Amino acid sequence: MRTRRTVAFAAPVFALALAATACGGGGDDGGGGDAPSLDDIAASDLNPQPREELEEGGIFIYGSSQPVPQLMTHHTDGNLGAGVEIMKAVMPSAFRFTDEGEAEPDPAYVEDFQMNDEGTEMTFVLNKDAEWSNGEPITWEDYEQQWKTLSGQEDGDFGAPGEVYAYQSVEDVEEGADEYEFTVTFSEPFGEYGMLFENLYPKEVMEDADRFNEDYMEDIPITAGPFDFKELDKSSDTVILERNEDFWGEKALLDEIHFQPGDPEGQAQAFANGEIDAFYVGYDAATFETAEGREDGHVTQAVDNGYRYIEMNADSPVLSDVNVRHAVMLGVDRSALAQLSLEGINWPSDPTANRLLRSSDPHFQDNSGDLGEQDQERAGELLDEAGWTLDGDASVRTNDDGDELEMRYFCPAGVKACESEAEVTKDMLGEIGIKVTTDSIPTEAFFNDHVYTGDFELASFVQIGSTPYVGESFENHTGPFDEDGEDWGNNNARTSTDEINEKFDELRQTVDPDEYGALANEIDGLLWQNGQGIPFFQRTGTYGVADGLANVGAPGLQSNWHYEDIGWTELPQR
C-alpha cells in the first residue's frame, strides 16, 4: 500500500489485494452467498463498546500487511497503508471523521475550530496540554511548518512531494492571541479542510530535510499520541507500541499494540489459531473461510474507503492510444472479475465502483456509461481504428510494422486474487487479439520497480483513501506535474486531460455538498472516457476480529480507528 511518489500531492494509499488500514466488528453470516446489494452494507463495523465497559490492559496483536521501514508518512517511501496504521496511534491529527465522512476536530489536539461561511478562513484553538514526547508543547508553529514543507516552500532535498493537495490552497498560517491559536487563510474557497494537518510531526523535523528523511527510518523518536513507540523487533519486523502514560487525553485502554506483518494466508491461519487478534481478510475465499473458522472471532462487513481496479499504463506505447485503453475496458467482463474475487465471501459481486465516492455516500452512482459493459465487437473495431489488426488466421493483432499487440500483466507474488484476475483477463483479451503475459513480482519490487516507474502495461491492486475527501485522489488522476510533461507524481496511469485537471481545481473550491457530489461524479465519468483504469468492485470492509476486542474493525469513511478506545471485554489468556 502506498500513497505518493515523486511530486505527489495527496492520494489514497495503495494496497495489494489483501492489505489495509481501518476498523470493524460484527457479522457472523457464513461466506459463500451474495449480500443482496451494496445498499445493505453497513457504513462501519467496529463492535462499538463504551470505554467504561472494557478492561484496562492487555495486548492487541494486529496482523499488518507489510513491513514499513520509513515511518515518516509524508515521505514518498513512507505513506504506506501499514505505516499510516502505526502512526495514527502515536501522532497528532487535527481532525477525525464520522461514518458520513464529516470532519470533526480531535479534542486531544484542537479545543475549538471555526470555518467562515465563505470557506476561505479557519481558526484553531489548540489544546494547551498537548505536548511532544520530548516535553515540548505542540504549538501553532508545528502546524505552520507542516504547511510550509508540504506546500513545497522549504529548500532542501526533502524526500517528499513538491506540493501536497490541500496545502497548496493555503495562502497563510498566522499566529493568533498566543502560541496556541492560529488562523489559516485560503487563496480560494476550500471545502476539504479535514485533509489538513493529518499526521503532524514536530517543526524541527519538518523543517530539516535530513531529519525529515532519516529520523523516522525504523524508528519513531518523537510521538504525541495515546501510544508511544517501544521497539522494532527486527527478527519479525514487528512494531511494538506501548501506552503513553503521559497522554493528556483519554488514556489508552491497552498496554501494547503489536503490528506484526505477514502474508494473507499466514495471517488467516495465525488468526484462526488465536495468535493474532485482527487482520484484514479481504476477499480471497480460502482466507475468508479460515478466518470465519475461528470460534471466538468474526469477520466484519462494512463499506471500505477504497476500490479494486486494473491500472493501465498509458505511458506504454501499446496503451498510449485512448482507443486501445477503451478496447481493453470493453474487452473484459467487470462483473465476471468481481464475481471471481467475491463469490467465496458474503459480499455483493456488484461491479459498480466509483473511483471517488463510496456506496455510503448519498451521491454515489455508476459513471461508466457505455464503457462499463463488455462489448468485444466494439473493442475489436476500436483496435482496428488504432492500427492493430488481425490478419488471416492470426490470433494476435499486429500493426503495420508487424509488432504484436502484447501487454504484460504484473501481480505481487503470493496474492492469489491478482493472479486469478490476471489469468481471466488474459483469456478475455486474447479473444480480441491482445496477447497478455502474466508474471508475479515480489511485493516491494511490484510497486517500487514496476508500478511507480512505469514498467508495466496492466496491474491490479487497491486504492485506499485515508480521508473521505475526493480531492485526496487528485494526484492519482491528474497531471503532469512539470513543464516537460514527464512527472506524473502518483498518477500511475500516466495520463490525464486539461478538463480533468480543471474539474479537480473546481472541486477543491466547492463548499456545497450537492455541487461537490455532482462534480465528483462528473470527474469519475471523465476518467472513464480517458481510459484511466478499470474499477471492478468496491473494496470489502472485511476484517477478522476476535470477539472480545472492541472498537476495532472496518471503519468505512471514518478511515481510522480511535486507538485509545480499543480494548478487551475480557482480557485474553496468552
For 200-220, letters b (16+ CB in 10 Å) and e give bbbbbbbbbbebbbebbeeeb
pTM of the model: 0.85
* Tens-level pLDDT at each residue, the chain (574 residues): 333 322 222 234 444 433 333 222 233 333 334 455 888 889 999 999 999 999 999 999 999 998 999 999 999 888 788 999 999 999 999 999 998 889 999 999 999 999 999 999 999 999 999 999 999 999 999 999 999 999 999 999 998 866 788 898 999 999 999 999 999 999 999 999 999 999 999 999 999 999 999 999 999 999 999 999 999 999 999 999 999 999 999 999 999 999 999 988 899 999 999 999 999 998 888 999 999 999 999 999 998 888 999 999 999 999 999 999 999 999 999 999 999 888 888 888 888 899 999 988 889 999 999 999 999 999 999 999 999 999 989 999 999 999 999 999 999 987 888 999 999 999 999 999 999 999 999 887 898 899 989 999 999 998 888 788 998 899 899 999 888 888 888 899 999 999 999 999 999 889 899 999 999 999 999 999 999 999 999 989 999 999 999 999 999 989 889 999 999 999 998 7
Strand 59-64 and strand 95-97: the pairing is unpaired
- Which residue reads 450537492 in cell numbers? 514
Return the DSSP state at 565. Answer: G
Question: How many Å apart are CA 117 and CA 304, to the nearest integer?
Answer: 31
Tally helices (H) and strands (E) across the chain.
14, 21
Question: How many Å apart are CA 73 and CA 391, to the nearest integer?
Answer: 52
- CA dihedral of residues 523, 525, 530, 532 (deg, nearest 10): 80
**What is the distance in angstroms between the CA of the first residue and the CA of the last residue of the chain?**
31
